Amino acid sequence: CELQTLERHILDYERVGDLPGGLIPQLYFEFIRKRDAFLLADILEHNFHDIVNLALLSIKIS
């Protein structure tokens, strides 16, 4: 089950405009090659939502 599925059904939260997790490794390696900090913004935002929503899910289901 994907985290975003749990977010949608348990937290009633829908990510809009979020970077698909499958693209993160590719963008990270592109960041390493180009040293373009703007590439990190979407990755960090995606990871931020992952961490916050995992914490909220753990509270909600416990």
Q: Which residues does 61 contact at the CB level (< 8 Å), separation at least 6?
A: 10
Residue 1 has pLDDT above 90, yes or no: no
- Residue 7's identity, in one-letter code, is E
In which region does residue 31 sit, left (phi positive, over 0), alpha (psi from -120 to 50) or beta (all else)? alpha
User: pTM for the whole thing?
Assistant: 0.84
Q: Using one digit for the tens of pLDDT, what is the confidence trace for 22-54? A: 999 999 999 999 999 999 999 999 999 999 999
Q: Which residues contact 49 (CB under 8 A, 6 or more apart)?
A: 15, 18
Phi, psi at residue 61, to the nearest 5°? -95, -5
